[in-house]
Amino acid sequence: MTKKRAIFLDRDGVINKKAKEHDYIKNWGEFEFLPHIKDVISQLNKKFLVVVVSNQRGVSRGLMTLNDVHSIHVNMQTELKKSNAIIDSIYVCPHGIKEKCACRKPEPGMIFQAARELNIDLSNSYMIGDSLTDIEAGKKAGCKTILLADANLARETKPDFAARSMLDVLHFIN
């Protein structure tokens, strides 16, 4: 069976607007899509599986539950489908930093799990994120990496590509 190519997306800061520093998106009312993301995901769907890999430490901190996160994702997928934008699968790490689990980015556990479950060729896939931990996880998994951030952070993290927005990402992906 031929392996599939995938685009791994971080959620907060890539699909939706990030919460304020030291806060979390705890419910659907706090979730706000970033500009053009629905169109970009729809374009990506033509060539790739689209998989979300998201650290959700607010669960381990007791600020929200896994059910809250699941509810946000159900609503997110419903809204995206209205624009023919499909998230093929979502992986969440609810653990805190001190728990040292294999799924919390910068560890590649969620990416490896998706690769096993969805038959993904990691060397022909991309990890797109807005932080050092996203890029590290993608590199550890053997993916190409794209950082959504300013040039200073790109110099520090050394992604394969740096983009100002998800719309720009379409120029790097083939």
| DSSP letters for the chain | -PPBPEEEE-SBTTTBPPPSTT----SGGG--BPTTHHHHHHHHTTTSEEEEEEE-TTTTTTSS-HHHHHHHHHHHHHHHHTTT----EEEEE---GGG--SSSTTS-HHHHHHHHHHTB-GGG-EEEESSHHHHHHHHHHT-EEEEES-HHHHHHH--SEEESSHHHHTTT--
Active-site positions? 10, 12
